[in-house]
Amino acid sequence: MNTPAARAAAPAPSFDLPEIDAFTRPYWDAAREGALLLRYCAACGRTHHYPREFCPHCWAGEEQVTWRPASGLASLYTWSVVHRNDLPPFGGRVPYVAAVVELAEGPRMMTEVVDCPDPAALRVGMALQVTFRDLAEGVSVPLFRPAPTP
């Protein structure tokens, strides 16, 4: 029976880690080493993200689509400062900046902007560079931080 007492006794949920399979392993292995990989289509010459076995632009198959290292550079496309989130693991990190960045190679990517002490300083088009956060043993995710000014 699913009573309130029974639900309360259930263990607290934990956040999900990415599912690493044979196809996505190169992406996650590179992230663990501090590199961002993107998928590149030789048929149409376009790069895409999130990783897929086919090209979402021209539908070329896996024989035409390969992994390529990204520059790690991006510009801020849009963002939101999150002040409240009760879901693990985010609740302990509020406030944080959820963002979409435009990678130098063209695709846009959902991410988080870190190492920005004043979110009011964020601007559309702001130069960013990739960094990584370790989530668990052997699992790192790409995030972005403001790029140093020249």
pLDDT at residue 135 is higher than 60: yes
- pLDDT tens per residue across span 39-96: 999 999 999 999 999 999 999 998 999 999 999 999 999 999 999 988 777 778 889 9
Q: Which residue has the higher pLDDT, 105 or 14?
A: 105
- pTM of the shown model: 0.84
In this prediction, residue 4 has a pLDDT band, given cuts at 50, 70 and 90, of very low
pLDDT at 101: 98
- The edge-to-edge listing of strands for the beta sheet with 37-41 is 47-48, 37-41, 65-69
What is the C-alpha separation between 120 and 106, in angstroms, rounded?
26
pLDDT at residue 5 is higher than 60: no
- pLDDT tens per residue across span 26-45: 999 999 999 999 999 999 99
What is the C-alpha separation between 79 and 119, in angstroms, rounded?
10
Average pLDDT (105-128) is 96
- If you write DSSP's letter for every residue of 58-124 in order, what string do you get? T---TTTEEEEE---EEEEEEEEEE----STTGGGG-SEEEEEEEETTS-EEEEEE-S-S-GGG--T
pLDDT at 15: 59
- What is the DSSP pairing of strand 73-82 with strand 96-103? antiparallel
